[in-house]
Amino acid sequence: MDKAMKDLSIIEHILAYCAEIEQTVTRFGDTLESFETDKIYRNAATMCILQIGELAGRLSPEFIAAHPDVPWRSIKGMRNIAHKKLVLGKLSEVYA
C-alpha cells in the first residue's frame, strides 16, 4: 500500500472513532457524572481517544506537513494524557 492510501485509511479510521465518540456521548449523556459513574461509557470513549492518538502517530510526515492547520501533535499527545489521567483516576480531566 502506498503512503497516500495508507494515510487515507488512517484518516478513515480516525473519523470512524470520532463518530463512535459522538454515538457514545449520545447514548450515555453529555455529563461528567455519567462519565464518572459509568465504566462502560468511560472505557468506550477513552478507547476511541487512545486509538485516535495511536493512528495519528502513524500518518506520514508528508501528510502531516500538507495539513499544518490540524494540531497533530496535540492529537497524539491527548492519547498519552487520557491514558495517564485514566490510570490516576482523574476522570474529570479525561472528560474535559
**Residues, the chain:** 96
pLDDT for residue 90 is more than 80? no
Number of domains forming the structure of the chain: 1
Q: Is the dihedral of CA 58, 59, 65, 68 positive or negative?
A: negative
CA distance 27 to 52: 20
Instruction: Give residue 91's pLDDT.
Output: 77
* Span 10-60, pLDDT tens digits: 999 999 999 999 999 999 999 999 988 999 999 999 999 999 999 999 999
Contact 94, 86 (CB under 8 A): yes
Contact 25, 45 (CB under 8 A): yes
Q: What is the span of the domain harbouring residue 30?
A: 3-95
For 70, which DSSP code? S
